[in-house]
Amino acid sequence: MARAPRRIEDVAPPSPEELLVVVGPTASGKTALALELAERFGGEIIGADSVQIYRRFDLGSAKPTLEERARVAHHVIDLKDPMAPMDAGQYVELADHAIADVRARGKVPIVCGGTFLWVKALVSGLASAAPRDEAIRKRHLEIAEKEGRAEIHARLRAVDPSAAERLAPNDLVRTSRALEVFELTGRPLSEWQSAHGFRDERHRPRFVGVHRERDDLDRRIEARTTELLAKGFVEETRALLADGYGDARAMGSVGYREVRAHVAGTIAAADLHREIVRSTRTFVRRQRTWLRDVDVGWVTRSAT
């Protein structure tokens, strides 16, 4: 259930027991809102973005700029090598440590990011499914290397279509994990997660979101895509590919996926902007689905 939109001036400072969490669709202006709140409340920002956590994936992830990081301290971004594995459990450990550190220094932690699975895991815990099995993971990796990542995704779809639907075929880490859970337990990961329901309370969250009219958000997605391409998104991706990061998990994310295809010659330059916008809007629809089930105090932003 969502509360009525309001002004940023109406957002009260969090109590010591609360964790302020800034949410909203991609391109809605989460970073700007988090910066304003951090400056009002004496806060520091904890990232919750599965691409921003990797070094060198800067433009396409809309990573906070050096100027923004100079205004307010940021944590849990730029931490990992692009080839390093990363999952929600690891994120929770990193975010918990950052939150404790920020509070120990008398500051207010403010979580901000668009990877809502990570946000859910942070505030409500993870489903307990099965331990990791390195032998299974090695076997999946060998299959992916010989037959392609789509083969692992196809095998997952056969046993857990719900998990396969929300995971990209290129996301080998999470696809392998979902298939691993089924192979170890005989029960789909989606069932484990449904049973868990993210009902634990690890932190007491207060969600604050950026509210924009749909047409305004569409215009912002268009404008942001134009700006990213003008700033060198293709060149950044080309450099990452040249340095051997073509199989990095972040390379399969929205935007990077399309630019990589363009560099490979499968998306024409004339079509690149449209394809990035289309992919971004699809991702935004998934984000909105999650946001419908969260109690958010929306802050209205006028058309820009």
Per-residue confidence (pLDDT) for residue 132, from 0 to 100 = 76
Length of the chain: 304
The CATH architecture of the domain made up of 134-196 is Orthogonal Bundle (1.10)
Predicted TM-score (pTM) of this structure: 0.78
State the 10-residue block means of pLDDT for the chain, 304 residues long: 67 93 95 96 97 97 96 97 89 95 97 92 75 86 92 93 84 88 84 58 91 94 97 98 94 95 97 97 89 88 74
Structure confidence by residue, pLDDT tens digits, 126-170: 765 567 788 899 999 999 999 999 999 999 999 999 888 878 888
> Among positive and negative, which fits the CA dihedral 265, 251, 254, 27?
negative
Both tokens of 101, joined, read 């550190």
pLDDT of residue 197: 46
At a CB cut-off of 8 Å and minimum separation 6, what does 182 contact? 156, 159, 160, 188, 189
Whole-angstrom CA distances from 190 to 78, 87, 179 are 30, 16, 11
For residue 278, which amino acid is it?
R
Contact between residue 92 and residue 58 where contact means Cβ atoms under 8 Å apart: no
**Which of these CATH numbers, 3.40.30.10, 3.40.50.620, 3.40.50.300, 3.40.50.1000, describes 8-126+201-211+289-300?**
3.40.50.300
CATH of domain 214-285: 1.10.287.890
Q: Can you give the pLDDT at residue 195?
A: 54
**Residue whose structure tokens are 């749909």:** 214
DSSP 65-78: PHHHHHHS-EESSS
Place of tokens 């997660």: 193
Name the residue ranges covered by the structural domains of the chain: 8-126+201-211+289-300, 134-196, 214-285
Question: Tell me, what's the pLDDT at 196?
Answer: 46
Q: What is the pLDDT of residue 1?
A: 43
Question: What is the per-residue pLDDT for 266?
Answer: 96
The neighbour count for residue 137, using CB atoms within 10 Å, is 17
Give the per-residue pLDDT at 127: 60
The 10s digit of each residue's pLDDT in 34-78 is 999 999 999 999 999 999 999 999 999 999 999 999 999 999 999
Mean residue pLDDT across the chain: 90
Say if residue 110 is exposed, middle or buried (CB neighbours under 10 Å; 0-12, 13-18, 19+): buried
Sheet holding 204-211, edge to edge: 74-75, 43-47, 108-112, 18-23, 204-211, 296-300
